[in-house]
Amino acid sequence: MTRAGERGLLHQDHPWLGRSVEDTVRQRRGTLRAIAPDVDKPGLLAWLLPVGGGVEWTTAPDALARPERITPDSLPRS
């Protein structure tokens, strides 16, 4: 069980989680879903979901850029 503010499955916290970001390697945008350890080699991977849905992909966290601006319309609705 995780405590408040912690992430499960060895996921790392990141200020852009849940926001649309650019993957500069693939030159496409997606919603940042997770930053987690790579199971095949040392280091971390960023997991992105295409805007509008589709198949997730991974990239290096340092390839992330240009997060969407936070506006009242982009905040999660309760």
Give 72 or 38, the one with higher predicted confidence. 38
**Residue 1 pLDDT class (50, 70, 90 cuts):** very low
pLDDT tens digits, 7-20 = 556 888 899 999 99
- Contact partners, residue 74, CB within 8 Å, separation at least 6: 19, 68
17 burial type by CB count under 10 A (0-12 exposed, 13-18 middle, 19+ buried) = middle
Nearest to 13 by CA among 36, 30, 31, 38: 36
pLDDT tens digits, 63-74 = 999 999 877 776
pLDDT at 2 over 50: no
Question: What pLDDT shows up at residue 19?
Answer: 92
